[in-house]
Chains A and B, each alone.
Chain A
């Protein structure tokens, strides 16, 4: 059923990406070119003289959000470019990147020389990027929510890569006439769907081969790990914790839900609909998952998570079985590179999870993100 859906989706995307609306738009060469399997909001079609990249609106899936037409910088413009497309000459030479995640991807693709500006360097973990900022080779252009547009113009940048939010634009940066690439990878609900976006970034930076290699490596590793955990007994797990009056529970079809299922866990809220989180009451989570064998949560704080701190937050946590049996694991998103890695390396996160759920499957594994909570 899932495979059928994938094929139908591919077929749909192919129909959608007919190049330039020409009658032969769906010829086999093009069909073979559009090879995305996991990303739902992205489609890439290689056409004669240009590459057509379409981004579906993640919040309104019937709408197309962007259509980029990528043409080689040195090649002449083809006569039959799609009229609705935003032209980007590739490889991009002077890009400004708003997010630390995509800066990390540019670094992995070996394209840092093409990056001239970044936002919010305080969230950048890569020493190479930080050194470049210190040396003045990469400029800090301010806050991602309100970047310094004068500096962007001054840098002579010819592309902006930004992370889109629902119903919000990019302020004055939109009026600069510089193409803005909306990097909506975080809205994908399959872990490899996020990774697949790297193919698009590879095209932008003229690093198609590197991007394809990086994606193939992650995909193969992910599948190998998934196969490893496929037949293991599935321990039950509950995720995250109560915040405010509710417990935001990731949906069964969210990328978090998929990741834990692929790691060989029985995620107790996999029936929660949707690809985002749903706010449930403490009593409902406790009623259903009080006896879960594992409890995994994320937090972003300089001091490590402890049982004492959890009890201080909310005493009734102590009734969970995972609490009694000391099987609560936490990922500190502030001190680890979790958010930097999740796009390009869901396999690393998957490996961590498998090592928790099935320690005998990955002997000698050293945890990267999730660690036992201290007393």
Chain B
């Protein structure tokens, strides 16, 4: 793929993202005329105060949250797939989001704390503990596959504790926990958005700096080492970076499945390359686009009842994964 075609790909993705954001701001279960939305955004609106609150404090933060979370999860997924040389790796595979789930389950069900902030804090602590464990193991275990298995096991452990907690919990609390587990881009208010944005942008910035070592990892650890890449350090940095991204997004939005797993594949199909110089930015933009689209689709056309986010992401995600598995031979990215 030459430079001109990449230019058009980036332009198309940026345009798609921009229009999806516009749709996210214009469309909702309350009908607000386009002209009024535009006026609200430019600050020249003097109609219903409620509409201004809806656009600026409900739709705007929800759209930006979806955009940031989608980009963060997609990039995490890509880096983990490269690190583990496994097309089915994703942010949920290392047990980090299970750790966040466990943190929230302990807070909600066991401690009975249900406030928004305690939920975020609990998710961060849970994810952080698993992340530290993974990082500790990454220094002790040589092979990436072994580390992957350890991550899976940590995830199973967390799930098993969660099911014990759920088993003994009242229906009320289980319901509360289930609702949290369905994922939600709408919970981040404009006041909390800077926190999410700060962490996500820092993580994404760090990931962009890791393009070269990621490319080297694709050649295998021995080749990468020959190229002067410190494989252990790279592995540590990738894990830390994806861990923070996943933990923060899960804390603010709940566990969001499929986006981190699927978007890197879409990006590979779009770019036709495994060079992270292009693959990583395209993954980032596609992730933002797809998450924003999912957020829009929670208000399903023609219905005023909302759908949970966890019902939307697999509709987009599952067909892509099946396509990848069926056409696995055509994808040469992991030898």
Contacts and interface: CB of A to CB of B under 8 A. Distances in A.
A243 interface: yes
A301 B58 contact: no
A280 B115 contact: no
B30 A300 contact: no
A374 to B, nearest CB: 14
A278 interface: yes
A240 to B, nearest CB: 12
Interface of B: 28-30, 49-51, 53-54, 57-59, 112-117, 167-168, 170, 172-173, 176, 179-180, 182-187, 189-192, 254, 298-299, 304-306, 308-309
Interface string A289-312: 010000000011111000001001
Contacts of B305: 278-280
B308 A314 contact: no
Contact of B114 (A280, A282, A301): A301
B29 A283 contact: yes
A143 interface: yes
Contacts of B167: 143, 145-146
Interface string A331-354: 001100000000000000000000
B184 A286 contact: no
Nearest to B184: A245
B116 A313 contact: yes
A300 B189 contact: no
Interface of A: 120, 123, 143, 145-146, 242-246, 278-284, 286-287, 290, 299-303, 309, 312-316, 319, 333-334
B54 A287 contact: yes
A143 B170 contact: no
A245 B115 contact: no
A243 B58 contact: no
B180 to A, nearest CB: 7
A312 B117 contact: yes
5 contacts: A280-B304, A281-B186, A284-B28, A301-B114, A334-B112
Contacts of A286: 50, 53-54, 58
A309 B309 CA distance: 25
Contact of B189 (A146, A279, A299, A314): A314
A282 B30 CA distance: 10
A143 B176 CA distance: 19
Contact of B308 (A245, A319, A334): A245
A284 B304 contact: yes
Contacts of B117: 312
Q: Is the interface of B mostly helix, strand, loop or mixed?
A: loop
Given A303-B113, A315-B192, 11 more contacts: A143-B168, A244-B184, A245-B306, A245-B308, A284-B30, A286-B58, A290-B53, A301-B112, A302-B112, A312-B115, A314-B189
A9 to B, nearest CB: 28
A300 B173 contact: yes
B187 A299 contact: no
Contacts of A315: 57, 189-192
Nearest to B188: A314
Contacts of B170: 120, 123, 300
Residue among B254, B298, B305 with most chain A CB within 10 A: B305
A143 B50 CA distance: 47
B197 to A, nearest CB: 16
A24 to B, nearest CB: 45
A245 B185 contact: yes
B174 to A, nearest CB: 10
A142 B184 CA distance: 35
B185 A287 contact: no
Nearest to B62: A245
Nearest to A302: B112
Given A245-B184, A286-B58, A315-B191, A281 B299 contact: yes
A316 B179 contact: no
Nearest to B59: A283
A12 B295 CA distance: 47
A43 B29 CA distance: 41
Contacts of B30: 281, 283-284, 287
Nearest to A288: B30
A94 B51 CA distance: 60
Contact of A243 (B29, B176, B192): B176
A244 B112 contact: no
Nearest to A284: B29
Nearest to B178: A244
Nearest to A301: B114
B18 to A, nearest CB: 22
Contacts of A246: 306, 308
Contact of B187 (A123, A146, A245, A334): A245
Contacts of A279: 305-306
Contacts of B304: 280-281, 284
A316 B186 CA distance: 11
B196 to A, nearest CB: 14
Contacts of B50: 286-287, 290, 319
A286 B50 CA distance: 7
A210 B51 CA distance: 55
Contacts of A280: 29, 304-306
Contacts of A282: 58, 186
B14 to A, nearest CB: 27
Contacts of B114: 299-301
A-B CB proximity, top 9 nearest: A244-B179, A315-B189, A246-B306, A245-B184, A284-B29, A313-B116, A283-B54, A287-B30, A281-B29
Contacts of A302: 112
